[in-house]
Amino acid sequence: MADDVVTAAQIASHLECPRKYEFEHERPVSPPKESLDRRDEHRRVLLRGSIIAGLRLDDASPDERTAAACDRFEELRRSSPSSYLVDEQARYDGEVVAAAIAAYFDADGHEHGERLVAADETVGYERGGVRYETTIDAVVERDGGYLALDYRPNLHGVLNVGWYDDNVRRFEEGEGFYPRQIGSLVRAAIVIRGLMNEHGLGPNYDFAYVSLLEDSRPAYDAPGEIYVDVEQRHFGGAYDEERADVNALVADRAAALLSGETDPREWQFDEIIDSSCSYCAYQNACPDYLESELSFTDRHRAADESPGRPQSPEFSSEESR
């Protein structure tokens, strides 16, 4: 039995900024209600709950799964605080979600429901006295193996697996700073290793982020209808390519957060200030951000003057890609 538990969400927060990890997991601070991350997470919760309701139906048609998912979405939306400024916005959003749910179940979703193994499941594994775990939305059988799925409104912050075959090395050596994207790869690694731990070693394990609302717009050639494009981004191949590097990164960051290393100055501080702080919901509570904003000196120190981790003089941010 492991003494400590580390989640993929904790490592992802620590990658963005160790102080953000502290605010989210050690001494939780509530972000402002209007923060973009908070709104996106709320929408993600509504969508995943709806899709799972459709997947769990036994011996159902695609239309029946779609209807069950849409009904569940309306139930969840009615029971949660409204974020809509006008009724028309709420109506259109409901139509977009219904179209996305229908598109998903007409494509792969029905087969996923027929092959469903588990939904809303926690998977994990133990290494070195630490249990690593994360929650996934669904696990389905596929080609003699298993596919885990994560449902979300869009793929913002999810690694484009076609970037490079050494994303982790580039990130750690300062050639690029894209912590959210690396966090999405970390989560995929923990999921895949968790599936192997629970179902045995095998070649056919995969994990995919499923974007339900990545591209949605009125279908101008069919008045009254809405066009949506449901996209899946698979990580099985990317994990195989970077297995050693990402496993080492997971272990290193777990050790850091278990040791209480939450001072961003000990990491890639300039990059954190320039990138992670720009979208962080905790700006107004963060002493490091406030100090950097009030400083009268140039905070962009040379690499050999920065405490902690070395910086690359050729740094270029890729967080926005």
Residue with tokens 């209480």: 260
52 domain-assigned: yes
- Amino acid present at 121: E
CA distance to 18, 34, 159, 180, 308, per residue, from 146 (Å): 33, 38, 21, 25, 41
40 domain-assigned: yes
Half-sphere exposure of 237 (CA within 13 A, CB side): 9
- The pLDDT tens digits of the residues spanning 151-190 come to 999 999 999 988 889 999 999 999 999 999 999 999 999 9
Give 280's contacts (C-beta < 8 A, 6+ positions apart): 16, 17, 20, 286, 289
For residue 84, name the pLDDT band (cuts at 50, 70, 90): low
Predicted pLDDT at 198:
86
Q: Quick one: which of 248, 237, 149, 145 has its CA closest to 198?
A: 145
315 domain-assigned: no
Structure tokens that stand for 270 in this block? 């300039």
Task: Evaluate whether 191 touches 207 at the Cβ level (below 8 Å).
Answer: yes
Q: Residue 194: pLDDT above 90?
A: yes
Predicted pLDDT at 179:
96
Predicted pLDDT at 87:
61
Domain, as residue range, for 141: 4-305
Structure tokens that stand for 31 in this block? 């972000």
What is the chain's mean pLDDT, rounded?
Answer: 85
Most confident range (mean pLDDT) of 42-51, 180-189, 200-209, 285-294 is: 180-189
Name the pairing type of β-strands 145-152 and 205-218: parallel
Task: Evaluate whether 172 touches 185 at the Cβ level (below 8 Å).
Answer: no
Partnered with residue 217 across adjacent β-strands are 227
Q: How many domains does one find in the chain?
A: 1
127 domain-assigned: yes
- What average pLDDT does this structure show over 242-271? 94
Predicted pLDDT at 46:
87
Phi-psi map region of 224: left, alpha, beta (phi>0 left; psi -120 to 50 alpha): left
317 domain-assigned: no
Predicted pLDDT at 82:
56
Higher-confidence residue of 96 and 14: namely 14
Taking the C-alpha atoms of residue 30 and residue 38, their distance in angstroms, rounded to an integer, is: 10
Predicted pLDDT at 308:
42
- The pLDDT tens digits of the residues spanning 198-231 come to 887 666 899 999 999 888 777 777 777 788 889 9
Phi-psi map region of 286: left, alpha, beta (phi>0 left; psi -120 to 50 alpha): beta
- How large is the C-alpha radius of gyration of the chain? 21
Taking the C-alpha atoms of residue 140 and residue 152, their distance in angstroms, rounded to an integer, is: 17
Task: Evaluate whether 208 touches 159 at the Cβ level (below 8 Å).
Answer: no
Three-state SS string over 123-159 comes to: EEEEECCEEEEEEEEEEEEECCEEEEEEEECCCCCCC
77 domain-assigned: yes
Collapsing DSSP to helix, strand or coil, 310 comes out as coil
pTM confidence score: 0.84
Question: Helical H runs in the chain?
Answer: 8-16, 18-21, 36-55, 62-78, 87-104, 110-114, 167-172, 179-199, 236-241, 243-258, 269-271, 277-279, 287-294
Q: Residue 285: pLDDT above 50?
A: yes
Q: Quick one: which of 246, 161, 275 has its CA closest to 208?
A: 161
Taking the C-alpha atoms of residue 24 and residue 242, their distance in angstroms, rounded to an integer, is: 28
157 domain-assigned: yes
266: CATH:
3.90.320.10
Name the pairing type of β-strands 130-142 and 116-127: antiparallel
60 domain-assigned: yes
